[in-house]
């Protein structure tokens, strides 16, 4: 649970966002030493109770400070990076233009078991400040990995994304 606390603190995640990130991001699960074949990710309520326990006993700040000192003494730091994700911008599927065709800038895609038609906003977010530094709009079927270069600011030492993005990056290299 302590490793999860560090992830939550370093990435400024809420309890529900921490739970979702652990299910979605293999690197975070690896750091937290969670094997989904053996155990589930602790749910948001459990995370909240653990965090409150640390706060009530004034342990949180002391632990985070001690780890920061340890990392610095060993030449490590929590480095800056970019978090990459996308959101679908749904559009009507009707063909209303003069040529009776769909807009070529829109396309269909499947997310889970649901089909969508429209565009996708691919977003690059600074992992420390949580400020958006880049957005690329594409037809909905374009994968994050295809526009990754346009989502990075160039000074990353780390890259975070959902499991689909990370798997695409591994497959290309």
What pLDDT was estimated at residue 41?
93
State the Cα–Cα distance between residues 146 and 137, nearest whole angstrom: 12
**Domain stop point among 45, 73, 101:** 73
DSSP string, 22-90: HHH-HHHHHHHT--TTT-PPPPHHHHHHHHHHHHHTT-HHHHHHHHHHHHHHTT-----EEEEEEEEEE
**In terms of domains, do 67 and 98 share one?**
no
**Domain stop point among 23, 43, 73:** 73
State the Cα–Cα distance between residues 57 and 130, nearest whole angstrom: 29
**In terms of domains, do 86 and 167 share one?**
yes
State the Cα–Cα distance between residues 1 and 34, nearest whole angstrom: 10
Two tokens, residue 130: 């949580």
Task: Read off the pLDDT of residues 64-117 as tens digits, 9 standing for 90 and up.
Answer: 788 878 877 887 766 567 778 888 888 777 666 677 777 777 888 887 788 888
Give the number of C-alpha atoms closer than 13 A to the C-alpha of residue 166, restricted to the C-beta side.
Answer: 13
How many folded domains does the chain comprise?
2
**Domain stop point among 73, 94, 126:** 73
**In terms of domains, do 116 and 67 share one?**
no
Q: What angle do CA 164, 166, 172 make, to 5 degrees?
A: 105
**In terms of domains, do 95 and 116 share one?**
yes
**In terms of domains, do 67 and 122 share one?**
no
**In terms of domains, do 98 and 159 share one?**
yes
**In terms of domains, do 152 and 86 share one?**
yes
**In terms of domains, do 12 and 61 share one?**
yes
State the Cα–Cα distance between residues 1 and 50, nearest whole angstrom: 8
The mean predicted confidence, pLDDT, of the chain is: 81
**In terms of domains, do 64 and 124 share one?**
no
Task: Read off the pLDDT of residues 142-169 as tens digits, 9 standing for 90 and up.
Answer: 888 888 888 888 877 778 787 767 666 6
Task: Read off the pLDDT of residues 63-78 as tens digits, 9 standing for 90 and up.
Answer: 878 887 887 788 776 6
- Residue with structure tokens 């002391």? 62
**In terms of domains, do 27 and 49 share one?**
yes
- Parent domain of 49: 2-73
What pLDDT was estimated at residue 173?
46
């Amino acid at each position: 649970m302590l490793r999860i606390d560090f992830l939550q603190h370093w990435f400024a995640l809420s309890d529900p966002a921490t739970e979702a990130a652990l299910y979605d991001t293999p690197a975070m699960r690896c750091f937290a030493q969670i094997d989904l074949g053996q155990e589930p990710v602790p749910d948001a309520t459990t995370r909240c109770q653990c965090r409150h326990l640390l706060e009530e006993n004034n342990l949180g700040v002391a632990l985070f400070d001690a780890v920061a000192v340890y990392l610095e003494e060993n030449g490590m730091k929590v480095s800056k990076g970019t978090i990459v994700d996308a959101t679908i911008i749904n559009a009507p599927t009707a063909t209303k233009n003069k040529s009776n065709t769909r807009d070529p800038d829109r396309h269909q895609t499947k997310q889970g078991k649901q089909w969508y038609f429209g565009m996708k906003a691919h977003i690059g977010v600074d992992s420390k400040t949580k400020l958006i530094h880049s957005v690329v709009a594409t037809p909905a079927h374009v994968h994050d990995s295809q526009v990754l270069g346009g989502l990075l600011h160039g000074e990353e030492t780390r890259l975070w994304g959902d499991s689909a993005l990370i798997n695409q990056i591994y497959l290309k290299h």
